[in-house]
Amino acid sequence: MYNILKSGKNIQGKPRMAELKRLPIKYIRDKIKSQYPKSSECFICGSLEEIEFHHYNTLTLLLDKWLKVTKHSVDTVEQIEFVRDLFIDEFKELLISSEETVTLCKFHHTGNGAGEGKGLHKIYGKAPALITAPKQKRWVQKQRDKYYGLDQ
């Protein structure tokens, strides 16, 4: 007997949608990351080691909020590929603007790396609330000013 499910079609005989194998945000990051304004050095200390990119507006939270508002579903690869272009178009400024993102060394980003420190994520958490974006920007600038002795 021919199994319609193994044929790549659903019960109605239509092509079956591919299930997501990764978190939806990964599909969005993959599509946009070539446009990130990532520097080769940490904005705070100028380190060239263990460089990481940070969005002041946590992408996962931003996507979750947007999905609730727009009522889009992202249960399949086809759905996320459609939705990601809409999301990127709407939030491009927050995703790639140098005012809304920053390059940091691992030490200043997570507090890990060369020695333990007060990294941004140690202060604001693993997924900082969207409302904290302005505070994060001020914190980053304050750390830079301290590092270069400009905080007097």
Place of tokens 């914190």: 139
Task: Note down the domain range covering 135.
Answer: 24-32+43-147
Q: What global pTM score does this model have? A: 0.81
Residue 19 belongs to some domain of the structure = no
> Minimal CA–CA distance to 104: which of 34, 28, 38?
38
The HSE-up count of residue 49 (CA atoms within 13 Å, CB side) is 7
Q: How confident is the model at residue 6 (pLDDT cuts 50, 70, 90)?
A: very low
pLDDT at 9 over 80: no
Residue 60 belongs to some domain of the structure = yes
Structure confidence by residue, pLDDT tens digits, 78-89: 999 999 999 999
Residue 15 belongs to some domain of the structure = no
3-state secondary structure of 19: strand
- Which of 14-18, 23-27, 91-95 shows the lowest mean pLDDT across its residues? 14-18
Residue 69 belongs to some domain of the structure = yes
- Domain count for the chain, please give it: 1
